[in-house]
Structure 1
Amino acid sequence: MHQATTHQDGLTGSRLYLGIIAISLATALGMLGSVTANVALPTIAKTLHTSPSNSVWIVNAYQLSILMALLPLSSLGDRVGYARIYTWGLAIFTCSSLMCAMSRSLDELIVARVLQGFGAAGITSVNTALIKTIYPSRLLGQGVGVSASVVSISTAAGPTIAAAILSVAPWPWLFAINVPLGIIAFLVSFKALPRPPISKAPYDYGSALLNAATFGLLVLGVDRLGHSNGISASAVLQLLASAICAWLLVRRERGRTHPLLPVDLLLKPAFLLAVLTSICSFTAQMLAFVSLPFMLQDALGRSAMATGALITPWPLAIVIVAPLAGTLSNRYEAGLLGGVGLAILALGLALLALMPAHPTSFDIGWRMAVCGVGFGLFQTPNNRAILAAAPAGRTGNASGMIGTSRTLGQTLGALLTALILMVAPDHAGPVALTTGAIFAGAAAALSLTRICRRGA
């Protein structure tokens, strides 16, 4: 028999373990929703008779809806309870996964992926806050570690799972497999997670709409600019509208006690530099993750199964290095660890770009592992620095910015890859990897700047 919730200090007994299972399942589903689609892009593009650059919108649509909804849902969670946002997110994710599996055209799949992204945003936006709610304070560090491990393992397993499914079944099964798992996660979440009374505090719908418009117009404007011959008037108008919405949002949020966008935290150099470092690093990672399946399958003639296996050393290295990075962050500054890690990532991406014309599996695999070591060394200390820079009571804001910076970087990386696939289809892999190395180098410089500022 499980004990009831203690409002002051998390869950106890069997309900705590059920809560851990619920959060872990949902987190894994959200991560796999992104990773598995990357590996399948060449296969889906051929099946749906679309171009590689257009097929990247299968990734973009998912990332874009997460980006637009993440901060508004994080703020709404403070009002209606994190578990309600979480379970609704799971329900939407599960239903839209079925829609993805049933799609018979690129347009249908993109619409379904938009809905799936909104569901993933519901899961991601309140994940950290929910962990803090269910774990007793003495076990909070363990809870954060469990969640980080689930993310790493899901990312590591994603390419292999996708490749294994594609080797025995058509691509719709990549999405259909989410349905039974999503139902199980929903039922466990509904039973285990605490649902406090809904707060009567007003919700800031104006800021939520401005946030969605800022990020949505930014991504659409960048995409339109990339697909235009020269500078498109519509692209310029979208980017200008995004800038106006961002200005209005910042002006609206400044001085608020509980802002949707933490402008006051972004004015702190340590917080801002950690966020910018995260954006650049995830842009670099996504440039590689989206371009590599096309490079390995179309240019080098590897099968989907082999592609998944060859990409796996990257996330697997993250799984191994991330705990070490967490331990090192107790002794060394996040700026130093991040700078070193991102420099290693830049080196690994450059090595991938400069591979011989006919590389062996070993040639590819060890370069992937170098990238994973660099990224793993950076990620945990940087996220810890973002959380540490937020004062007490602002964990939700910091958690939201971790997710937003990650998703914005991933979205920009996917957009840049689509542009490269369109303008340089014969050399897309090396060009995208070189661009990723440049972004990783910029992220390393930003990270090391934190040490210089502290020293000054």
Structure 2
Amino acid sequence: MTPPQPQPPTRQPDQPNGLHGPARNWAMLAVSLSVFLALLDYAIANVALPDIARDLRASSSSSIWIVNAYQMASLVSLLPLAALGSRVGFARLCRAGILLFMVASLLCATATSLPVLAGARVLQGIGGACIMSVNIALVRFIYPQAEIGRGMALNGLVVALGVALGPTAAAGILTFASWPWLFWINLPLGAVALGMAFYALPNTPRAAHMPDITGSVLCVVAFGACVMGGDGLAHAQNWVSALLLLACGLMAGAWLVRREAHLAQPIMPVDLLRRPDFAVAFLTGFCGFVASNFYIVSMPFTLHDALGLSSAQTGLLITPWPIGIILSAPVIRRVADRISAGVLSSIGLGLTASGFFLLWQLPAHPALWDIAWRTALAGWGFGCFQPPNNRAMMVAAPLHRAGGASGMVQVARQAGQTVGAMGVAAFFTFWASGANRECLLVAGCVALFAALLSASRLLVGRAA
């Protein structure tokens, strides 16, 4: 007996026409504001880790939970929320995410202990996942097929602006106020983003099916148990429990993949991962973000603790990373729809790896300019890598799977960032002396591997 063949939802159009004129501009502004809100606080929290750890009497390795709590909550909920967005509408889920993010920011600002702050960051992560799981899908409906690369480049520019202004805003705020004000600023920003989301986001086709509840639970268990088990190993905390959690997560993941293998709208997009062009782009994105978070999480400690710089100087010296991404955006926007991801992403990741290796080779007492230009080079390369690779994932998926593809774009980012943060925690736990510099070496090696993986698309002729 042959299994039933997957059928696309009946209410999906065959091809996206996109929006035009002012409607497109307003819609992209709404998407940009929501993405900016979700990313700004992540970047701010990274820079403030040393200050938060001191005020809450937490160790450096434990304080990374401020990052990991957000990342884990976002990661485990991305795919279920992407499926939910396909059912209720991408715009509606984005609005709900903005509102939840604002409530969680209020709880972060009033937290008085590390566990309370981490719990509030979990809620922030879920709110951020509501936004990030559907933002790429919204871009695909805002832009026509031939111009998706432009939309991806603009989205990447907004991501870079969020990361760029995070350290700068943190430096300014920490100069005059305490770290809770890093979270208070989300309330007015969120109000503006929410208003624009109600005004301008387009209505998108809604899938006829209901999300798979069992698959959603398995997805949460698989990602959550793997992350918590990996974090336990990274912090050398209760090895037996950590290994059991890892085993539980892997078994749940295997069950999930087997269950979803023949579904038309799987929570875990097994159907998309069977496509070689999609799978290579996903793995390239994952490795790229592992490398970036080895840099992003460890660099504030390198600057603050190893080089003795102030919090304000630390924030300013991380800023060239996103500035490099911003400066690459005009170039990538022009060529992302004409030159393959196998070329653009490989070159970009090669430059990122070079920047990380140069930072690893910094002298013991470097000039500030020596830090800044190396960081900018790595950031410029990273900006060249992201939009073409994201575009490759989206165009490899059929339109009725836009939600799943958008979720996987964010899973590549969030999973890579989470693994990178856990890697830094492991270095701090097991190799406290000199761990900061060695993290930069690992970042360079992983970025170089990602560049080679991206270039493999040229060899097999499957570049998007």
Which residue of 65, 74, 94 maps to 2:73?
Answer: 65
- The verdict on how the C-alpha distance between 1:240 and 1:399 changes in structure 2, with shifts beyond 3 A counting, is same
* Contact 2:153–2:387, Cα closer than 8 Å, also in 1: no
Please, which runs of 5 or more residues in structure 2 have no aligned partner? 1-12
How far residue 425 of structure 1 moved from its aligned partner, in angstroms, is 2.4
**Aligned residue number for residue 438 of structure 2:** 431
**Aligned residue number for residue 4 of structure 1:** none
* Contact 1:80–1:197, Cα closer than 8 Å, also in 2: no
Q: Secondary structure at the match of 2:461?
A: helix
Q: Secondary structure at the match of 1:251?
A: helix
Q: Deviations over 1:108-133 (max 9, x none)?
A: 10000000000000011111222344
Matched, 1:344 2:351: yes
How far residue 228 of structure 1 moved from its aligned partner, in angstroms, is 2.4
Which residue of 119, 123, 127 maps to 1:119?
Answer: 127
Which residue of 277, 283, 288 maps to 2:284?
Answer: 277
* Contact 1:326–1:381, Cα closer than 8 Å, also in 2: no
Matched, 1:35 2:68: no
How far residue 426 of structure 1 moved from its aligned partner, in angstroms, is 2.7
Q: Deviations over 1:399-447 (max 9, x none)?
A: 1111110100000011111111222223121011111112112112211
Cα distance in 2, alignment partners of residues 16 and 182 from structure 1: 21
Q: Deviations over 1:243-285 (max 9, x none)?
A: 1111111111112222222112212222111111111110110
Cα distance in 2, alignment partners of residues 398 and 219 from structure 1: 22
Q: Normalising to structure 2: TM-score of the pair? A: 0.91
Q: Deviations over 1:146-183 (max 9, x none)?
A: 33322222222221111111111100000010012112
Instruction: Name the amino acid aligned to 1:411.
Output: T
Cα distance in 2, alignment partners of residues 258 and 402 from structure 1: 17
Matched, 1:128 2:136: yes
How far residue 52 of structure 1 moved from its aligned partner, in angstroms, is 0.6
Q: Deviations over 1:72-94 (max 9, x none)?
A: 11110111111221111111100
**Aligned residue number for residue 329 of structure 2:** 322
> What is the percent sequence identity of the aligned residues?
45
- The verdict on how the C-alpha distance between 1:256 and 1:153 changes in structure 2, with shifts beyond 3 A counting, is same
Matched, 1:375 2:382: yes
Cα distance in 2, alignment partners of residues 454 and 137 from structure 1: 21
- The verdict on how the C-alpha distance between 1:372 and 1:13 changes in structure 2, with shifts beyond 3 A counting, is closer
**Aligned residue number for residue 232 of structure 1:** 239
Matched, 1:333 2:333: no
**Aligned residue number for residue 247 of structure 1:** 254
- The verdict on how the C-alpha distance between 1:157 and 1:226 changes in structure 2, with shifts beyond 3 A counting, is same
Q: Secondary structure at the match of 2:343?
A: helix
Q: Secondary structure at the match of 2:353?
A: helix
**Aligned residue number for residue 407 of structure 1:** 414
* Greater mean deviation of Cα atoms: 183-192 or 261-270: 183-192
- The verdict on how the C-alpha distance between 1:13 and 1:331 changes in structure 2, with shifts beyond 3 A counting, is closer
Cα distance in 2, alignment partners of residues 80 and 455 from structure 1: 34
* Greater mean deviation of Cα atoms: 110-119 or 135-144: 135-144
- The verdict on how the C-alpha distance between 1:159 and 1:267 changes in structure 2, with shifts beyond 3 A counting, is same
* Greater mean deviation of Cα atoms: 66-75 or 331-340: 331-340
Cα distance in 2, alignment partners of residues 22 and 314 from structure 1: 25
Cα distance in 1, alignment partners of residues 71 and 83 from structure 2: 19
Which residue of 64, 79, 84 maps to 2:87?
Answer: 79
**Root mean square deviation of aligned Cα:** 2.4
* Greater mean deviation of Cα atoms: 42-51 or 126-135: 126-135
Q: Normalising to structure 1: TM-score of the pair? A: 0.92
Q: Deviations over 1:307-360 (max 9, x none)?
A: 111111111111111332343444543223222222221221111112100011
- Aligned ranges 1:22-421 → 2 under 5 Å: 22-134=30-142, 143-194=151-202, 201-228=209-236, 232-421=239-428
Instruction: Name the amino acid aligned to 1:228.
Output: A
